Amino acid sequence: MPSTYQNETKLGEVTYRLSATTDADESVVLELLGSAPSGEVMADGRLRLPVEGGAAVGKMLSRVLGAHTRLRDRPTRHANANQPWTEALDADLRTAWLAPSSDDAAVLIRALAEEMQRSSTAIRARLPRVGCDPDVPGRELSTTAAALLGGMSGPSQGKT
């Protein structure tokens, strides 16, 4: 015997209506409609699946949709991501790193990343290239460390 379950919820201005109906061939038919107060359809869809697969598919949909929501709310990249480093930017980074600071390396890297609109990883990777020790604010790399890390050839010298 067919049965129907209906539910409605409002998220922001959009009202969502969901109905789940079992049919004669042991399937569940899900129908979703989301509409704005103006009547504009914001979401709609229909899905048919076996009754025994409903709970598993529901969990899967919940995980996928939850992940997409979290990704949408997180910035996907920094404004200057993938932009080339210029000599002026390198000089600014070097000056900021070598300036006296009571912050530890992680805090200073995060602050510089925010200021330069790049990721913390990008800042940390760039520091050796401008001759700075990424583990100790205010410290230049030794000539040996710079050679190993692919940075400047020595303190206060030009880029390689």
Residue 118: closest CA among 141, 101, 146, 96:
96
What are the extents of the domains in the chain? 4-73, 87-149
**Residue 77 pLDDT:** 75
With beta carbons less than 8 A apart as the criterion, state whether 25 and 31 touch: no
Q: pLDDT of 64-121, one tens digit each?
A: 877 777 766 665 578 888 899 999 999 999 999 999 888 999 999 999 999 999 999 9
Residue that wins the pLDDT comparison between 75 and 129: 129
Q: pLDDT of 6-15, one tens digit each?
A: 999 998 899 9
Residue 5: closest CA among 58, 43, 42:
58
**Residue 54 pLDDT:** 77
**Residue 50 pLDDT:** 87
Of 19-33, 36-50, 53-67, 141-155, the one with minimum mean pLDDT is 141-155
Q: Where are the beta strands (DSSP E) in the chain?
A: 4-11, 14-22, 27-35, 41-50
CATH 2.20.25 at 4-73, yes or no: yes
- The reported pTM is 0.50
With beta carbons less than 8 A apart as the criterion, state whether 32 and 18 touch: yes
